[in-house]
Amino acid sequence: MDNDPIRNRMFEYNWGTWIKNDELEKRKRFTKFSISGLNEVVRVLQTTVDKPNSEIMDIGKNVKAITGSLKKLDSDDKAIANIKQIVSIHEGKHHHVYKVILTNGKALALRLPYRTMPNFYTERCLQSEAATSYYLQERLGLCIPKLIAYSGSFDNFLEYPFILSEYKEGDLLMKNWDPIIKGKLGDKTVEEKLSVAIDPIFSFMKATTCSSFPGYGSLYFKGDIQEGKKLMALKSDDLFVLGPTTLRCYYRASDVLDQAEIDNYTGPWAVESPLKMIKDLSSLIISSLKKKELTKDSVNDLNKVIKVYQSLENTSEKLLDIRSSSIPNFEKLIEPRLHIPDLDPMNVVVSGEGEYNFLDFEGATTIPFIVSSAPLFIEYSGPKVFDINEVENFDGLAPKSKARVEYMQKRTRNQEYWEKKLVKEMHDMSSSASPIVKMVKDPFICVVRNHVPDHEYFSLAGSLFMLKHAWKDLREGHIVDNTECPIELTDHDFNQFASDYDSYQRKINSEPFGITGGWVPQDVFERLLKQGVVIKDGENWKVRQKS
């Protein structure tokens, strides 16, 4: 049953193709699990329904069950149900999701992480996500599918880490998200369209940040933290603890650093040191860059990159004036509050009754609210265009230039709508979106967003450049620490970085699908293949050059 070649197709990644290293990338995303093992988990869970003795129960072989959710598996006749059908329903950036239908008609959602990260991170991340999901639902009363069982280990019934939860029927909120609708902020029709997706996500974000924590890190069930590992207890709730952060950016160095080395920088961090997580992130990246084996020709390039991150390392704990800040409500803004990186219309299921069910809490970490950013689907850091009519000679622009300006206007408008809600509904926290605060926290956000620090350091260099030139005024205004600017990068450095950035952009733009890292949506790939635009190139693919 588990070794059926035809059945194995359901474990394969089918939502895209990579121009280079396609076989390797798909192998990382091959989520083969034991179906008989899943059936055993379902059977054991049903026999445990009437035996709950705590909120979390170990059911054996590294699998834990949420006792309050087990009745979701029950049926009127109390008979033990088996798996009737398993359907692949979603292949995302980091997970494969299956719908599991039982013989009693119940439906469950099974979520499996890809093998794109080391096992220790996969285990840590999954355990934290399970705890965060349960905390949000049971402690904050938010609308989230019931967590039923989980395991972060490959040594379990399924032979694969998993999260099992109730399945929620409905459409993704993304179906109603139209970010490029024409019109400016203030148009009633436009705001109504934007509000369909923005309003429920904003309300959820507001609820998740309503309370503060005793430090900075990720949530775990207390029983999942290994003895000897650093943790912080939650005084009001002994089921949970704060442990190492699971923000993905802290683990991108796992190709050159081992777990012990990485764990020197992943927290948790004391409430008295709100900016140390930024310093540790920069120190971690510097350690990984220094350890990389490089060719003789690339050493100078590496030294340039290290110099940029050293400037952030030197600046990180001085980014804000902790002692006498002039930022309104600074004490609240600097407190540890839960930040969920993937708030997105793709992670919200809308039921037929209009209920919004939120999914995907990977990487959730308590950070100072003041250094958080708007969700990726709404965040925009490019040139601001509030009104196309105010753009000089817009009608005389070339079609491509017009399209770029219109895009900027729409992205500006969408973010403005989000920030208007922040001012109206979370006024005490609205200073976090002020232009000055955005400038100060931008270096941290750049590092969080950079997928390949040694190739994408230009955005960090640019944000440090802006900060350096504004430092004196920011210091006198009690925004940053009352010290001389610690950013030692020179104008010559920045000119060189700008040149490097231009070269990098030309390289990316010259490579087919360079912006997506060579990944092509499967329907697009198949169309291009049929048209002869994409052809085989040894073990890779290439785009046929026009004659």
pLDDT given for residue 74 in this prediction: 76
Across the range 379-391, mean pLDDT stands at 89
Dihedral over Cα of 406, 408, 409, 415: its sign: positive
* Neighbouring-strand partners of residue 17: 520
Tell me the range of 64-78, 287-301, 345-359 where mean pLDDT is highest: 345-359
Query: Do the Cβ atoms of 489 and 464 come closer than 8 Å?
Result: yes
Cβ atoms of residues 122 and 174 within 8 Å: no
Mean of pLDDT values over 153-175: 96
pLDDT band at 292 (very low <50, low <70, confident <90, very high): confident
Report whether pLDDT(525) > 90: yes
Residue type, 510: S
- pLDDT (average), residues 293-307: 69
pLDDT digits (tens, 9 = 90+) for 366-383: 999 999 999 999 999 888
DSSP 128-163: HHHHHHHIIIIIT----PPEEEEE-SSSSTTSS-EE
> Is the pLDDT at 231 greater than 80, yes or no?
yes
Listed by start position, the domains of the chain span 5-169, 188-461+478-483
β-bridge mates for residue 99, sequence order: 87, 109
Question: For residue 53, what pLDDT is reported?
Answer: 66
With H, G, I as helix, E, B as strand and everything else as coil, classify residue 30.
coil
**Measuring CA to CA, how many Å separate 398 from each of 111, 183, 363, 372?**
47, 20, 42, 37
Neighbours of 543 (CB within 10 A): 15
Q: How confident is the model at residue 236 (pLDDT cuts 50, 70, 90)?
A: confident
The answer to whether the CB of 224 falls within 8 A of the CB of 127 is yes
Strand partners, 113: 95
pLDDT, tens only, 428-467:
999 999 999 999 999 999 999 888 777 788 889 999 999 9
Q: Read off the pLDDT of each residue in 77-106 and give the average, rounded to a whole number.
A: 91
Write out the H or E segment, with its range, that includes residue 338.
strand 336-339
pLDDT score at 296: 46
Residue 298 burial (CB < 10 Å; 0-12/13-18/19+)?
A: exposed
Angle subtended by helix axes 299-315 and 458-476, to nearest 10: 30
455 Cβ contact list (under 8 Å, min separation 6)? 504
| 3 state DSSP class of 398 | coil
Give me the pLDDT at residue 76, please.
67
Least confident interval from 119-133, 284-298, 377-391, 427-441 = 284-298
Taking only the tens place, the pLDDT of each residue in 396-417 is 999 989 999 999 999 999 999 9
Gap between the Cα atoms of 96 and 116, Å rounded: 12
503 or 461: whose pLDDT is higher? 461
Largest CA distance in the chain: 76
* Tokens 């609205």, residue located: 430
pLDDT for 85 equals: 95
Residue 497 has pLDDT above 90, yes or no: no
Interval 249-268 mean pLDDT: 94
Report the pLDDT value the prediction gives residue 454, as an integer from 0 to 100.
74
Give residue 303's pLDDT band: very low, low, confident or very high (50, 70, 90).
confident
Counting residues of the chain whose pLDDT is more than 90, the rounded percentage is: 74
The class of domain 5-169 in CATH terms is alpha beta
User: Would you say residue 506 has pLDDT above 70?
Assistant: yes
- The answer, yes or no, to whether residue 345 has pLDDT greater than 90, is yes
Q: Look over the chain and give the mean of its residue pLDDT values, rounded to a whole number.
A: 91
DSSP string, 32-70: ---HHHHHHHHHHHHHTTT---SSEEEEETTEEEEGGGG
Above 60 in pLDDT, residue 526?
yes
Nearest by Cα to 180 from 416, 515, 346, 409: 409
pTM for the predicted model, two decimal places:
0.93
Question: For residues 319 and 444, is the Cβ–Cβ distance under 8 A?
Answer: yes
What pLDDT band is residue 294 in, cutting at 50, 70 and 90?
A: low
